[in-house]
Structure 1
Amino acid sequence: MRHGRSSRYGRYAGGPDPLAPPVDLSEALDAVAEDVMAGYSPERALREYLRRGSRTMTGLDDLAGRVAQRRKDLLGRHRLDGTLQEVRRLLDEAVLEERKQLARDIRMEETDRSFREMQLQNLPPSTAAAVTELSSYDWQSSTARERYEQIKDLLGREMLEARFTGMKDALQNATDEDRAAITEMLRDLNQLLDKHARGEDTPQDFEDFMARHGDQFPEDPQDIDELIDALAKRSAAAQRMLRSMTREQREELMDLSAQAFGSPELMDQLSRLDANLQGLRPGEDWSGSESFDGDQGLGLGDGTGVLQDLAELDELAEQLSQSYAGSTLSDLDVDALDRHLGDDAAASARTLAALEKALRDSGLLRRGTDGDLRLSPRAMRRLGQSLLKDAAGRLSGRQGQRDTRHAGAAGELTGSSRPWQFGDAEPWDVTRTVTNAIGRTAAEGRNPASGLRLQVQDVEVQETEDRTQAAVVLLVDTSFSMAAEGRWVPMKRTALALHHLVSTRFRGDALQLVNFGRYAQTVTVDELTALPPLREQGTNLHHGLLLASAFFRKHPTRQPVLLVVTDGEPTARLMAHGESWFSYPPEPETLRATVAELDRVGRNGAEITFFRLGDDPGLERFLTAMARRVGGRVVAPDPEDLGAAVVGEFLRSRRPRFPSSFGDLDWD
């Protein structure tokens, strides 16, 4: 803009995005619940969801993979002889410049020149030994002397950088006074640590130390423990770096260290510091090592930084694994993740942590009396609602597959109406429904006279005072084949959808869930949801029918409705003494006992529907014959359509007033 001001915008970097949408729990809950129904504990299901992430959210496994790759890159890029290579270069330059000076100096006596040249010619091959031997050499070249002094300066700065971040740059071109100040700081620091180890230090001691030397600690520790933590991590990394070198490199470096700043006291103070820190923080990794195989040389200071990075990456890997007791995503060091992988990874970690916290704080997951994480009643209701909506969507697409609904009385009309909801069995208020459609069509800018198309939001039903109540039993097969053939989760989804429909739209009905394998038992929807796949053989439909008969007898005034989901013929029956008798192929006595109990249920007027899963011809013949005996029905849905089929048959048994085809309704 020629006249005026221009602005530049960038990504928000002040922490979590304040304009980010709230965490969506619905997808997470659905994924967690799906794994729970497959047999995982809620705790493990939550962990698995956070590990794999979702279509729009990076998971822990992906972040952990990027951490591992970052670690691999560091090891494959570097080698640890950078300081030795730099010292060798400076030494070679010093010797070369000295030889040039000897050749040019015509005033030097020949004997003196020959002696000096012999000294330079016979230097030991070891860099450390050569530097030590030249420590008393009287350099004739000022350039050579400068290069040699740079060796001592470099070694001193690298030794300090290995313990104190930023010291190498801070001491470049340092004076004798600067080096004396560092030595004084080391003395004071070691005295402070000695007092702390004896328990004799006070907060004032720390304040006094920081007042004198605080500018040399960019970490800005707030107390002595923070100071020790920062120093110990760096010192331990320096020790690991030394152990990561070859034996020859390590020996060379230790021999060279005596030349640091030309001051043996420096190394004495650093050795004392390392000992103090190791005694105060023995939990740090002081003895580890790494295998570097790159070609980029690292000095002591930079190498120590890389070792610190590797240790930090290891900590991140452990945090991302969430494999230790009591782990939560609040443990993640997001700042470290940002440093190593960038702000995208940090944002993903914040999202995962927020999601985990939201799930735990929302009341959807709760701790049981045994301490285990469980789906809460609220989560079960929400999940049931989601599964019922899915069943409704599948029902709406089953054009031509449903019987025409008959208009039976559902109770006395009250004269008022309300919007239709899935599961309503009341008759439609046609006048209000058509009026709603006309108003909506006109609001959309279309002429109602050109034709109307009903949508779900148009429909209103007439409220009634009462309706016939039902006693509903859902019998679900939990034999081994249900899990082996991938029918376990669809069975549970079906039970949850039906339970939610009855508990919200047919509150006057009574529903009982019964699972049958080798034995049958009544279960709550929570228990059925958490039921792991069973590896027991046996399909004891006989026992299940006995429990259904008992439930119907408890509710003699209600219309009995029996829904049976199974993928196999009866192979077990309940004996008189209460034991289960199993045999395969099915024994005639088992079939007779099952048929006899079904006849008793049928004589009580129950509406019976069998849902056949799989293509077993024997099961098809058996269920067809069973349904014919009691005037029931057999439905053979795909497993994924099981929920829609069961809900649809339940609604059929309740005689709801719905149109004969759902194809024109927009269920969304």
Structure 2
Amino acid sequence: MSHPIDPRGHRRSRYGRYTGGPDPLAPPVDLSDALNEIAEDIMAGYSPEQALREYLRRGARGQDGFDELAWQAAQRRKELLERNNLGGTLQEVKALLDDALRLERAQLARDIDLDDTDRAFRELQLENLPESTAAAVSELNTYDWQSQDAREKFEHIRDLLGREMLDQQFSGMKQALEGATEEDKQAIAAMLRDLNELLSKHRTGTDTPADFADFMAKHGEHFPENPRDINELIDILAQRSAAAQRMLNSMSPEQREELMQLSAQAFGSPELQGLLGDLAGNLQGLRPELDWSSSEDFSGEEGMGLGDGTGAMQDLAELDRLAEQLRHDHTDLDLDALRRQLGDDAAVSADLLNKIDQAMRNSGLLRRSADGSLKLSPQAMRRLGKSLLDDATAHLSPRSGSRDSRLSGLSVEQTGATRPYEYGDTQPWDVTRTLTNAIQRTAGTGDPLKLTAEDIEVVETEQRTQNAVALLVDTSYSMAAEGRWVPMKQTALALHHLISTRFRGDELALITFGR
């Protein structure tokens, strides 16, 4: 909404569609429970800064605290490692190879047109394949398959390896290239060549914004993140590439060796392996500060392919960052990452806690002292005293108390407020409010105006008599040892609020004793 001023000097309002930002209809954060819990910790001996931090760690009522969210992140990390392993691609290749060999052997056995010598030679070739899956695939590159189904299974191995290697660097490529034509594969190779050329120019400082714009105009469909400049593109690719390297580091030496040998079979050409190797080198040179050397210990039963494994490594890194933020610097917490990893409820809890933290610091309830520490403000003390007094009176006997004095007061001063009449009240009636209540109750009923006890409102007054109120407090060790230290402070604060708001002429004295 804006407020332009017309030529006559009148201010006009102009309204537009809501375009994002904080929800304008969201209710304000309720700080009452937070203030009560924080104050209780302060009375137990915490500083206000420590009390606020402990409250955020525990969480608001009905919402998880930062400690619980950090534990959930640790559990999610543990589940990823204990459920999965990194042998998914090798297992899938072996299964495809076994199917191809089974289909080929069946075809040789029933092919009556095949020469017996040729059949025997082919069967001998299949029987004497190396135990290594990678070596067997390499040796079968020149094999003349008799079964069309077996040939398709074997070709699928090459296709799978190519898609997995691309998915390792570009998330979603495995699905996007399923059933890709030779033309599609050539387009991917061209994109990789252009990308490596762009990154090489950037490393030497010879690239221009036009180079990036031309690259995105030509190959932008492969980058759904829609990076705005080359640095954002490098960040996206380098984080994925570093995760892929950490995944390779996490494999056993045997798995890495098998995978490297199989990589040359991707799409039936070693070119893809070379282009992806150049890309990884460029990215590591541009972002050496990323974690390229660590590893993880996957021990589960579910095999992950190269792309899924790289995604899992990214998830682990993101969970580590979230856990660090939740434990130490929740003000910079990435709520989108938290929602991805732990769900909507976790993001809602974290957002609420951050809002409470900001509201407590900005509402005037906490005040920064000269030495930089936080203290409860007078406003906070008044709100806390009222809350404690309300809680105390709710647990007292329904009989009204007395505040008798042997000296009469000078006058009865009205406060300006009224309240419903209670049995035993001696305050004067507020006639206007009483009659208004009766009229509102009988309006439209046709009944004659008649007062009832529920209609009566009395004027609140202040007694002008003065009393001295003494609170005796045991300060011996037993008070703290038996859990009475905080209730004592709460009682004193509630009594202080009562006297300072209802009996302002009285004096409150605190008398302590330890023996």
TM-score with structure 2 length normalisation? 0.83
Structure 1 counterpart of 2:4: none
> Closer, same or farther in 2 for the Cα pair 1:441/1:393, shift >3 Å?
farther
Partner AA of 1:211 in structure 2 = A
Structure 1 counterpart of 2:366: 365
Structure 1 counterpart of 2:164: 158
In the TM superposition, what is the alpha-carbon distance from 1:205 to its structure 2 partner?
Answer: 2.3
In the TM superposition, what is the alpha-carbon distance from 1:65 to its structure 2 partner?
Answer: 3.4
In the TM superposition, what is the alpha-carbon distance from 1:244 to its structure 2 partner?
Answer: 2.5
Cα distance in 2, alignment partners of residues 369 and 279 from structure 1: 48
Structure 1 counterpart of 2:330: 328
Question: Counterparts in 2 of 1:306-317, with a 5 A limit?
Answer: 306-317=312-323
Q: Residue 286 of structure 1: which of 292, 299, 307 is its match?
A: 292
> Closer, same or farther in 2 for the Cα pair 1:292/1:406, shift >3 Å?
same
Structure 1 counterpart of 2:17: none
Matched, 1:47 2:44: no
Unaligned runs of 5+ in 2: 1-19
| Greater radius of gyration (CA) | 1
Deviations 1:161-206 (A, max 9, x none): 0110111111112222222221221222222222333333332222
> Closer, same or farther in 2 for the Cα pair 1:381/1:174, shift >3 Å?
same
1:460 aligned counterpart, secondary structure: strand
Let me know the Cα RMSD of the aligned residues: 3.4
Cα distance in 2, alignment partners of residues 451 and 405 from structure 1: 30
State whether residues 169 and 244 of structure 2, in contact with CA within 8 Å, keep that contact through their aligned partners in structure 1.
yes
Structure 2 counterpart of 1:193: 199
> Closer, same or farther in 2 for the Cα pair 1:291/1:499, shift >3 Å?
same
State whether residues 428 and 461 of structure 1, in contact with CA within 8 Å, keep that contact through their aligned partners in structure 2.
no
Question: Counterparts in 2 of 1:65-76, with a 5 A limit?
Answer: 65-76=71-82
> Closer, same or farther in 2 for the Cα pair 1:299/1:328, shift >3 Å?
closer
Partner AA of 1:255 in structure 2 = Q
TM-score with structure 1 length normalisation? 0.65
State whether residues 411 and 468 of structure 1, in contact with CA within 8 Å, keep that contact through their aligned partners in structure 2.
no
Identity of aligned residues (%): 61
> Closer, same or farther in 2 for the Cα pair 1:116/1:65, shift >3 Å?
same
State whether residues 165 and 307 of structure 2, in contact with CA within 8 Å, keep that contact through their aligned partners in structure 1.
yes
Cα distance in 2, alignment partners of residues 242 and 154 from structure 1: 18
In the TM superposition, what is the alpha-carbon distance from 1:131 to its structure 2 partner?
Answer: 0.8
Deviations 1:86-117 (A, max 9, x none): 11121122223333333444444444333322
Cα distance in 1, alignment partners of residues 346 and 75 from structure 2: 14
In the TM superposition, what is the alpha-carbon distance from 1:257 to its structure 2 partner?
Answer: 1.0
Structure 2 counterpart of 1:661: none
> Closer, same or farther in 2 for the Cα pair 1:328/1:62, shift >3 Å?
closer
In the TM superposition, what is the alpha-carbon distance from 1:494 to its structure 2 partner?
Answer: 3.2
In the TM superposition, what is the alpha-carbon distance from 1:52 to its structure 2 partner?
Answer: 1.8
Deviations 1:102-135 (A, max 9, x none): 3444444444333322221110011011111112
Structure 1 counterpart of 2:417: 419
Q: Residue 245 of structure 1: which of 244, 251, 261 is its match?
A: 251
Matched, 1:274 2:280: yes
Question: Counterparts in 2 of 1:376-525, with a 5 A limit?
Answer: 376-394=377-395, 396-397=396-397, 399=399, 405-406=404-405, 408-412=407-411, 418-419=416-417, 430-432=427-429, 452=453, 458-462=457-461, 468=466, 478-507=475-504
Partner AA of 1:397 in structure 2 = S
> Closer, same or farther in 2 for the Cα pair 1:509/1:328, shift >3 Å?
farther
Q: How many aligned residue pairs are there?
A: 488
> Closer, same or farther in 2 for the Cα pair 1:478/1:107, shift >3 Å?
same
In the TM superposition, what is the alpha-carbon distance from 1:358 to its structure 2 partner?
Answer: 1.9
Question: Counterparts in 2 of 1:611-650, with a 5 A limit?
Answer: none
Deviations 1:400-444 (A, max 9, x none): 8x6672474222457x663369xxxxx976331699678758866
Cα distance in 2, alignment partners of residues 346 and 184 from structure 1: 41
Question: Counterparts in 2 of 1:227-266, with a 5 A limit?
Answer: 227-266=233-272
Cα distance in 1, alignment partners of residues 202 and 470 from structure 2: 72
Unaligned runs of 5+ in 1: 1-13, 422-426, 512-561, 570-668
> Closer, same or farther in 2 for the Cα pair 1:159/1:486, shift >3 Å?
same
Structure 2 counterpart of 1:352: 353
Cα distance in 2, alignment partners of residues 138 and 15 from structure 1: 64
